[in-house]
Amino acid sequence: MQETLEKSGLTKNEAKVYLALVKIGDSLASTIAKITTLHRRPVYDSLDKLIEKGLVSYNIKSGKKYFQAQNPEKILSILKDKENEIEQILPELISKFNATKPEVFSEIYEGKEGLKTVMELILKENKDWLSIGSTGRAHLLFLIF
């Protein structure tokens, strides 16, 4: 689960802290530090980031902060929001990509029929052409045509 959470955008420490909170519920940072074997500073840093992301909240009891994980479905909601943001800029990205995309064209042909197709295309288009990785025996096939 931790690896999947990391792939979804959480840091390693954030994933550890979130999973610990899901497992144990309402907890003090010191308890989270013990369970995750992280020092308290990285735990607090991760908690702050998770609060910013909306995955953790806290309440104060007797002057102490108790942290709790939010519903894991919130992770999916965050990812959907990110997807929507990407979809909004995607047309412009595609436009810019296509404007600067070099015109590269390559195809793979095999055997005698493939060579015949290539030669027909070369003659038809009357342009320069390159052959990379050939065995040096292609000219022997011309004798068959």
Note whether 59 and 118 are same-domain residues. Answer: no
Domain assignment present for 81 = no
Note whether 95 and 47 are same-domain residues. Answer: no
**Displacement of CA 71 from its chain's centroid (Å):** 23
Q: Look at 145 and 38; give whichever has higher pLDDT.
A: 38
* Per-residue pLDDT band at 119 (split at 50, 70, 90): confident
pLDDT tens, position by position, 57-71: 999 999 999 999 999
CA distance 79 to 94: 21
Q: Look at 49 and 143; give whichever has higher pLDDT.
A: 49
Note whether 52 and 103 are same-domain residues. Answer: no
- The pair phi, psi for residue 70, each rounded to 5°, is -85, 170
Q: Are 115 and 121 in contact (CB under 8 A)?
A: no
Say if residue 31's pLDDT is above 90. yes
Note whether 98 and 57 are same-domain residues. Answer: no
Tally of structural domains, the chain: 2
Note whether 116 and 67 are same-domain residues. Answer: no
Residue 93 pLDDT:
92
Q: Provide the residue type at 109 as one letter.
A: Y
CA distance 135 to 141: 12
* Per-residue pLDDT band at 141 (split at 50, 70, 90): low
Q: What is the CATH number of the domain that holds 11?
A: 1.10.10.10
How many CB atoms sit inside 10 A of residue 145's CB? 8
Q: In the beta sheet, which residues pair with residue 68?
A: 57
Residue 39 pLDDT:
95
CA distance 67 to 57: 6
Note whether 47 and 100 are same-domain residues. Answer: no
Domain assignment present for 24 = yes
CA distance 38 to 26: 18
Measure the CA dihedral 62/64/65/67, to 10°. Answer: -80
pLDDT tens, position by position, 62-99: 999 999 999 999 999 999 999 999 999 999 999 998 88
Note whether 24 and 54 are same-domain residues. Answer: yes
Residue ranges with strand state E in the chain: 56-61, 64-69
Percent pLDDT > 70 in the chain is 87
Note whether 61 and 120 are same-domain residues. Answer: no
Domain assignment present for 67 = yes
Note whether 9 and 68 are same-domain residues. Answer: yes
State the residue range of the domain holding 63.
Answer: 2-73
